[in-house]
Amino acid sequence: MLLGKTVAVVVPAYNEERQILQVLKTIPDFVDRIVVVNDCSRDSTEAVVRAYMDERHEAVAAAAAAGQDAAFHATRYNQAEAVVRKIDEEELRYFTPSAVVNARPEIDRVILINHLQNGGVGASIARGYKWCKDYGIDCTAVMAGDGQMDPSELESICRPVVAEGIDYVKGNRLIHRSAWLVIPKIRYFGNSILSMLTKIASGYWRVSDTQTGYTAISLAALKALRLYKIYPRYGMPNDMLVKLNIAYCTLREVEIKPVYNVGETSKMNIRKVIFTVSWLLCKCFFKRLWIKYLFKDFHPLFLLYNLSFGTLGVAGLLSVRLFYDFCTGRNWSFYVLLLFVFLSISGFQFILSAMWMDMLDNDRLYK
């Protein structure tokens, strides 16, 4: 426990037989539960975790094993809560098919969940989140199974959640003084591009290291999300931020060290991920715009954004017309040119105003 609150660590693992044991051994003692989600590994990852479990035989304290809330009794006033609880009970079928290995998951410290088919790192984290939500864990962190996250920094990641009630805490490698020297340049460049796009899509304009997976989340935030809808692969951290923003969750970044060359093997194609996640963020932006600023609570920035898209779209069509006239030697129409300039200037003014209002509205969520 940490400050009287239960803490769990979700460890997504895919072909991590060389690294997973070191990760498990170095997780701090204040962690009550370690939830390893084996994403259908083709190596001996499962065997390594099972051997560690057999060797340690660790059980959690009674307070940490309490699990779900006290008995729930439906009344005429808590029907909404009854619906939510029913969804929680039935939603497991929407996750990647899996099996919990433990015979006594209610008391074992290390929990092993095997995916029955490969789902991706996001799906593995979502499954771990689901287990922690069902067992009422107050703070759930994520540490990759490849050893790239320093266990000594886990407390600084979890403390804002358990002590200050922050909903989501992310590590930030880019503000560490060694970032430019340690992080491979192609990854630094890709991270910068995706971070910029994620700011716009998520509404968390002050977040800077969007791609790190070293995070901690509160139980309240887990309950606010449909975990099975989290993006299943490498775009998970970006999609997660959008979903948290729609749910009005607070966020904080804390400085962590960039860790590389510790025996990890990258499974990510940087160029492919940038294009895939960029398209994901484009869709997420419009989803956030409509759900948060129209359906949940109308905000003028919804109109400004859509006015900007409309005016810039028409300006784009006019630019094609002007370019065609230029290529065919025809004289430009003064009125067409004037309309193009007017719509272009107006469109950029609309979009900049909308972004500014978006920043102001979401600044309250960054703690």
Residue 226: per-residue pLDDT: 94
How far from each other are the two terminal CA atoms of the chain, in whole angstroms?
A: 24
What is the maximal distance between C-alpha atoms in the chain?
A: 83
CB atoms within 10 A of CB 159: 18
* CA distances for 321 relative to 10, 325, 328, 339, 348, angstroms: 55, 6, 11, 12, 20
Helix axes 300-328, 270-290, angle to 10 degrees: 120
Q: What is the mean pLDDT of residues 104-109?
A: 93
Residue 324: per-residue pLDDT: 87
Q: Taking 70 as the threshold, does the pLDDT of residue 270 lie above it? A: no
Residue 263: per-residue pLDDT: 54
Q: Taking 90 as the threshold, does the pLDDT of residue 268 lie above it? A: no
Distant-in-sequence, close-in-space partners of 224: CB < 8 Å, separation ≥ 6: 247, 249
Residue 69: per-residue pLDDT: 54
Encode pLDDT of 339-354 as tens digits.
Answer: 999 999 999 999 999 9
Q: What is the mean pLDDT of residues 195-217?
A: 94
What letter would DSSP give residue 320?
Answer: H
Residue 302: per-residue pLDDT: 97
Q: Which residue has the higher pLDDT, 80 or 35?
A: 35
C-alpha triplet 346, 347, 350: angle, nearest 5°: 85
Q: Taking 60 as the threshold, does the pLDDT of residue 304 lie above it? A: yes
Distant-in-sequence, close-in-space partners of 241: CB < 8 Å, separation ≥ 6: 198, 201, 202, 204, 207, 210, 251
Report the range of poorest mean pLDDT among 37-51, 255-269, 319-333.
255-269
Q: What pTM value is reported for the model? A: 0.90
What letter would DSSP give residue 108?
Answer: B
Q: What is the mean pLDDT of residues 33-58?
A: 94
Residue in 42, 35, 51 with CA at minimum distance from that of residue 15: 42
Q: Taking 80 as the threshold, does the pLDDT of residue 67 lie above it? A: no
Q: Taking 80 as the threshold, does the pLDDT of residue 71 lie above it? A: no
